[in-house]
C-alpha cells in the first residue's frame, strides 16, 4: 500500500517472521492483493498458494503458517473479532485453514498488522512478543510442555503485560497431533485441519500481542450508519434471542427433530440421549456466565462449571459441534463428561470435532471386534464409556500408547489398523455433526469443501430452514423453495455456490459468519456498505461476490495441484451406501446417481471441467488467476 496514504480498514503491513534465522521484517501489504483477495482468509490463501508446492511437507520448516485479520476486523463493525490461520494441512495434506473468534485478532490490528507469515523452525522452543512496533522472538523453553491455559498466563507474566492477548499451542501441538489446535484466550480454537501441529513443528509455542495504535476508517459517519444498519438487522433477527442465550447449542434439538444428529459414529442420525444434551440443560445446570467475542452484539459463548465429581471442571463453550462430537457421535449422554473433555481439548490444544470422530471411529472398531482391549491399552472402549474417552484424549495429546496412532486422525489410523470403511471423512478430514444423508445440499458442500469434510465453507441455514428464509433465498439466489426442501437434490448446486462465494467474503472481511451468511441477518449489501465506508473503496456487491468466487477457485486450484479430482468430491462411503435406519430421516441415503448429477451441475455452474472439477482456463482468466 502507498506509504504516503493513510491506511483505512487495512493497516497495510504484513509481518514476516523467519524462525530459523530468528529474524522479523515488516512488509507493505500490496494494494492489488487487498483489492483482489480482501484480507484474512482470502489474502492468507493467496500467500499460501504462492509459497508452497505439492512437494512441501506441511510440517517442514519451509511450510508457512499464516495469520490474517480482515479490513473490517477490530473495527466498529459487529462481530469483528475473527482470525484466520492458513497452512498446508498436516491432517489432509491439502489446503488448510481454520478460524476463531476472541480478542487476539483485533489486538493484532491495533498493533498495526493485517497478517503474520511465519516460516522456518526455531532451534529451541520460542514465543513471539509483538508489542506494537517492537517484535521479539523470545526464549520459550520454560513454557514448552505447558497447557494452553498455563501458557496464556505464563507468557503474559513474562512480557509483563496482563492485558496482552495470547494465541498458543498445548502439548498436542508440540507432539504434532495432526488435528492440534491454536487456542486464543484459553478457549477460542482455530482447530480444524491441525494448525497447532504446524506451529509445534516450528518450535513456536505462542504469539502474544499488544496494540496501542488503532484503526482508521475512511468515512466515519457513513461507516457508523452502515454499522448501525447491520447491528439493527442482527437485533431484529428471529433467531437473535436464541443465539444470545444458547449459542450454537440451540441446534441440538433441531438436529434431533429433523434426524441429522450423527450418533455412534454416524451409524444412526438420532440419539436417545439428545434431551440430556440440550441447551436448556446446559444453561440450567452448568452455565455460570455468558461470554462474547470482540465487539459482538450476540455474545453466544458461555462460561461453565462442573462443581464436583469425577468430571469437575470449568471452562468456556461448548459449541454444538463439540457436544455432538464428544456426545452423540460417541454415544455419550453424560454432559459433565463432555464439558470435562471440552476443557481438556482446549487445554491440550486439540480440535474437538476430529477428537470426537477419532474416538467414535475407534469405538465402532471396538464394537465390531476389530480393536480389542489389548490394542487399546486395556481400555474397554464401548460407545458411551466416558472415563475411557477422557483417558484417550490425554494419551492422544501425549502420543502415548494407542494415542500415538490415534493422534494421526481416524483416516490415517485406519490405514494402519484397518476399519477404513467406518471413517466418515472427505479428503482425509473428519465430518462435522450433520448427517448429510438427509440434507442433500450440505452433502455436496461438505464433500467439495477445499479443506475436506467441513461444514463451515458452504454452511447453509437456508437449506434446513427454508420456510423462515424463503423470501431471502428467492431474492438472493432466484430459487423457489419447495416443501421439505432439504431432501431434494435440485437447485442445490446453485444454492451452495452462492453460499460458498459469500462465506469466502465474510471470512476475508474479518467478520463472524454465524451472524453473517450462515444464520442470515447480514446480507451482501451490509458487507458492501460497511467495507466501502471503512476503506473508501468504491466496491459493489457484484465485485464482492466475484472476489469470493476468486478465493474459492484459488483454493480449488491449490488442491488440484495436490492431485485432487472428482473422486475426492464424493461423500463418505457410509452416507452413500447405508440408509439411515431409525428416526425421522429413516430410509434416507445419498443416491450415487443423483449425487453425481448434482456434482456435474455444480462443476458446470462453477466453470470447472467435468472430469475432475478443474477450473477451466477461461474461468481462471475471467477471475484474473492467470
By CB under 8 A, is residue 103 in contact with other proteins? yes
Minimum CB–partner distance for residue 625 and other proteins (Å): 34
User: Strands 126-131 and 204-210, how do they pair?
Assistant: parallel
By CB under 8 A, is residue 9 in contact with other proteins? no
Single out the residue of 154, 184, 215, 386 in contact with other proteins (rule: CB under 8 A).
215
CA distance 87 to 65: 5
Q: How many CA atoms lie within 13 A of 13 on its CB side?
A: 17
Q: Interacting stretch for other proteins, rule CB under 8 A, among 102-110, 166-174, 395-403, 513-521?
A: 102-110
Q: Interacting stretch for other proteins, rule CB under 8 A, among 292-300, 327-335, 361-369, 421-429?
A: 292-300
209 and 108 in contact (C-beta within 8 Å)? yes
Single out the residue of 139, 212, 241, 480 in contact with other proteins (rule: CB under 8 A).
212
176 and 202 in contact (C-beta within 8 Å)? no
Q: At what angle do helices 410-417 and 352-367 cross, to 10 degrees?
A: 30
Footprint on residues 303-342 left by other proteins (CB under 8 A): 303, 305, 314, 316
> Of the two residues 316 and 430, which places its CB atom closer to other proteins in the complex?
316
> Of the two residues 234 and 414, which places its CB atom closer to other proteins in the complex?
234
By CB under 8 A, is residue 228 in contact with other proteins? yes
Minimum CB–partner distance for residue 213 and other proteins (Å): 6
> Of the two residues 100 and 551, which places its CB atom closer to other proteins in the complex?
100
Single out the residue of 61, 145, 253, 299 in contact with other proteins (rule: CB under 8 A).
299
Q: At what angle do helices 541-561 and 40-51 cross, to 10 degrees?
A: 30
SS3 call for 473: helix
Single out the residue of 186, 395, 455, 503 in contact with other proteins (rule: CB under 8 A).
186
Could you give the string, one character per residue 127-166, with x where binding to other proteins holds by CB under 8 A and - elsewhere?
--------------------------x--------xx---
By CB under 8 A, is residue 520 in contact with other proteins? no
Footprint on residues 64-83 left by other proteins (CB under 8 A): 74-76
Closest by CA to 562, choosing from 20, 53, 63, is: 53
> Of the two residues 186 and 264, which places its CB atom closer to other proteins in the complex?
186
Exposure string of 439-467, with b = 16+ CB inside 10 Å and e = fewer, is: bbbbbbbbbbbbbbbbbbbbbbbbbbbbe
Give me the residue label for grid cell 500408547. 401
By CB under 8 A, is residue 291 in contact with other proteins? yes
Single out the residue of 132, 216, 488, 582 in contact with other proteins (rule: CB under 8 A).
216
Minimum CB–partner distance for residue 310 and other proteins (Å): 20
Closest by CA to 525, choosing from 505, 507, 500, 496, is: 505
CA distance 11 to 2: 11
Cell of 538: 468504491
Single out the residue of 22, 53, 54, 288 in contact with other proteins (rule: CB under 8 A).
288
By CB under 8 A, is residue 224 in contact with other proteins? yes
> Of the two residues 220 and 604, which places its CB atom closer to other proteins in the complex?
220
By CB under 8 A, is residue 296 in contact with other proteins? yes
Give me the residue label for grid cell 507432539. 175
By CB under 8 A, is residue 444 in contact with other proteins? no
217 and 223 in contact (C-beta within 8 Å)? yes
By CB under 8 A, is residue 285 in contact with other proteins? no
209 and 165 in contact (C-beta within 8 Å)? yes
Single out the residue of 273, 297, 494, 607 in contact with other proteins (rule: CB under 8 A).
297
CA distance 48 to 471: 38
Q: Interacting stretch for other proteins, rule CB under 8 A, among 189-197, 198-206, 271-279, 297-305?
A: 297-305
> Of the two residues 110 and 402, which places its CB atom closer to other proteins in the complex?
110
Single out the residue of 295, 355, 357, 535 in contact with other proteins (rule: CB under 8 A).
295
240 and 300 in contact (C-beta within 8 Å)? no
CA distance 606 to 603: 5
SS3 call for 55: coil
Cell of 179: 488435528
Footprint on residues 359-418 left by other proteins (CB under 8 A): none
Cell of 157: 507474566
Exposure string of 545-570, with b = 16+ CB inside 10 Å and e = fewer, is: bbbbbbbbbbbbbbbbebebebebbb
Minimum CB–partner distance for residue 296 and other proteins (Å): 5
- Kindly state the number of chain residues that form the binding site for other proteins, as judged by CB under 8 A: 38
Is the Cα dihedral 450, 455, 456, 461 positive or negative? Answer: positive
> Of the two residues 231 and 388, which places its CB atom closer to other proteins in the complex?
231
Single out the residue of 5, 21, 134, 213 in contact with other proteins (rule: CB under 8 A).
213
User: Strands 287-291 and 301-306, how do they pair?
Assistant: antiparallel
146 and 135 in contact (C-beta within 8 Å)? no
Residues in the chain: 626
245 CB neighbour count, 10 Å cutoff? 18
131 and 210 in contact (C-beta within 8 Å)? yes
By CB under 8 A, is residue 293 in contact with other proteins? yes
Single out the residue of 34, 110, 167, 362 in contact with other proteins (rule: CB under 8 A).
110
> Of the two residues 294 and 558, which places its CB atom closer to other proteins in the complex?
294
Q: Interacting stretch for other proteins, rule CB under 8 A, among 197-205, 253-261, 298-306, 435-443?
A: 298-306
Which residues, 6 or more positions from 105, have their beta carbon under 8 angstroms from its beta carbon?
A: 69, 73, 74, 81, 82, 83, 184, 294, 510
Closest by CA to 487, choosing from 446, 438, 444, is: 438
Minimum CB–partner distance for residue 305 and other proteins (Å): 7
> Of the two residues 75 and 426, which places its CB atom closer to other proteins in the complex?
75
Q: Interacting stretch for other proteins, rule CB under 8 A, among 41-49, 284-292, 377-385, 411-419?
A: 284-292
> Of the two residues 106 and 425, which places its CB atom closer to other proteins in the complex?
106
> Of the two residues 288 and 610, which places its CB atom closer to other proteins in the complex?
288
By CB under 8 A, is residue 86 in contact with other proteins? no
> Of the two residues 5 and 382, which places its CB atom closer to other proteins in the complex?
5
> Of the two residues 110 and 118, which places its CB atom closer to other proteins in the complex?
110
SS3 call for 453: coil
Footprint on residues 490-519 left by other proteins (CB under 8 A): none
Binding site for other proteins (CB under 8 A): 74-76, 103, 106, 110, 153, 162-163, 186-187, 211-217, 220, 224, 228, 235, 288-297, 299, 301, 303, 305, 314, 316
Amino acid at each position: 500500500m502507498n506509504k504516503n496514504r493513510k491506511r483505512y480498514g487495512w493497516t497495510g503491513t504484513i509481518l514476516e517472521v523467519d524462525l530459523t534465522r530468528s529474524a522479523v521484517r515488516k512488509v507493505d501489504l500490496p494494494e492489488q492483493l487487498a483489492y483482489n483477495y480482501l484480507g484474512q482468509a482470502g489474502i492468507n490463501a493467496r500467500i499460501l498458494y504462492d509459497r508452497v508446492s505439492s512437494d512441501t511437507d506441511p510440517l517442514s520448516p519451509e511450510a508457512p503458517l499464516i495469520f490474517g485479520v480482515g479490513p473490517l476486523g477490530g473495527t466498529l463493525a459487529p462481530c469483528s473479532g475473527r482470525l484466520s490461520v492458513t497452512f498446508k494441512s498436516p491432517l489432509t495434506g491439502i489446503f488448510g485453514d481454520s478460524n476463531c473468534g476472541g480478542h487476539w485478532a483485533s489486538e493484532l490490528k491495533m498493533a498495526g498488522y493485517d497478517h503474520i507469515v511465519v516460516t522456518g523452525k526455531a532451534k529451541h522452543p520460542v514465543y513471539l512478543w509483538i508489542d506494537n512496533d517492537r517484535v521479539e522472538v523470545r526464549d520459550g523453553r520454560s513454557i514448552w510442555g505447558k497447557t494452553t491455559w498455563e501458557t496464556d498466563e505464563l507468557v503474559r507474566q513474562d512480557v509483563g503485560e496482563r492485558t496482552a492477548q495470547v494465541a498458543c499451542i498445548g502439548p498436542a501441538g508440540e507432539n504434532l497431533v495432526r488435528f492440534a489446535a491454536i487456542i486464543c484466550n484459553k478457549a477460542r480454537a482455530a482447530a480444524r485441519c491441525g494448525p497447532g501441529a504446524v506451529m509445534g513443528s516450528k518450535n513456536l509455542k505462542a504469539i502474544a500481542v499488544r496494540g496501542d495504535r488503532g484503526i482508521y476508517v475512511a468515512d466515519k459517519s457513513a461507516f457508523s450508519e452502515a454499522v448501525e444498519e447491520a447491528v439493527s438487522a442482527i437485533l431484529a433477527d428471529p433467531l437473535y434471542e436464541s443465539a444470545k442465550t444458547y449459542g450454537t447449542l440451540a441446534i441440538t434439538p433441531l438436529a434431533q427433530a429433523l434426524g441429522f444428529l450423527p450418533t455412534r459414529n454416524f451409524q444412526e442420525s438420532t440419539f436417545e440421549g439428545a434431551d440430556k444434551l440440550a441447551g436448556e440443560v446446559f444453561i440450567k445446570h452448568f452455565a455460570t456466565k455468558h461470554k462474547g467475542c470482540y465487539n459482538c452484539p450476540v455474545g453466544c459463548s458461555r462460561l461453565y462449571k462442573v462443581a464436583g465429581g469425577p468430571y469437575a471442571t470449568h471452562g468456556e463453550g461448548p459449541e454444538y459441534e463439540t457436544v455432538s462430537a464428544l456426545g452423540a457421535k460417541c454415544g455419550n449422554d453424560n454432559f459433565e463428561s463432555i464439558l470435562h473433555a471440552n476443557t481438556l481439548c482446549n487445554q491440550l490444544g486439540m480440535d474437538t470435532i476430529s477428537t470426537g470422530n477419532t474416538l467414535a471411529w475407534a469405538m465402532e472398531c471396538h464394537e465390531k471386534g476389530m480393536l480389542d482391549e489389548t490394542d487399546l491399552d486395556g481400555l474397554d472402549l464401548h460407545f458411551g464409556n466416558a472415563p475411557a474417552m477422557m483417558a484417550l484424549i490425554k494419551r492422544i495429546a501425549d502420543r502415548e500408547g494407542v494415542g500415538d496412532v490415534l493422534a494421526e486422525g481416524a483416516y490415517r489410523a485406519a490405514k494402519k489398523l484397518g476399519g477404513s470403511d467406518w471413517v466418515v471423512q472427505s479428503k482425509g478430514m473428519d465430518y462435522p455433526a450433520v448427517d448429510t444423508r438427509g440434507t442433500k445440499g450440505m452433502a455436496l458442500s461438505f464433500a467439495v469443501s477445499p479443506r475436506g469434510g467441513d461444514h463451515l465453507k458452504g454452511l447453509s441455514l437456508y437449506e434446513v430452514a427454508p420456510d423462515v428464509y424463503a423470501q431471502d433465498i428467492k431474492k438472493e439466489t432466484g430459487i423457489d423453495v419447495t416443501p421439505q426442501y432439504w431432501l431434494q437434490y435440485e437447485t442445490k448446486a446453485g444454492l451452495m455456490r452462492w453460499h460458498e462465494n459469500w462465506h469466502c467474503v465474510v471470512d476475508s472481511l474479518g467478520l463472524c459468519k454465524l451472524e453473517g451468511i450462515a444464520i442470515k441477518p447480514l446480507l451482501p449489501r451490509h458487507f458492501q456498505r460497511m467495507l466501502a465506508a471503512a476503506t473508501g473503496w468504491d466496491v459493489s456487491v457484484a465485485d464482492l461476490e466475484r472476489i469470493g468466487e476468486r478465493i474459492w477457485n484459488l483454493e480449488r486450484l491449490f488442491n488440484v495441484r495436490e492431485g485432487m479430482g472428482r473422486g475426492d468430491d464424493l461423500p463418505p462411503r457410509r452416507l452413500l451406501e447405508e440408509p439411515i435406519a431409525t428416526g425421522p430421516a429413516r430410509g434416507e441415503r445419498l443416491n450415487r446417481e443423483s449425487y453425481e448429477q448434482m456434482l456435474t451441475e455444480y462443476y458446470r455452474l462453477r466453470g470447472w471441467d467435468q472430469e475432475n472439477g478443474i477450473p477451466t482456463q477461461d474461468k481462471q482468466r475471467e477471475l484474473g488467476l492467470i
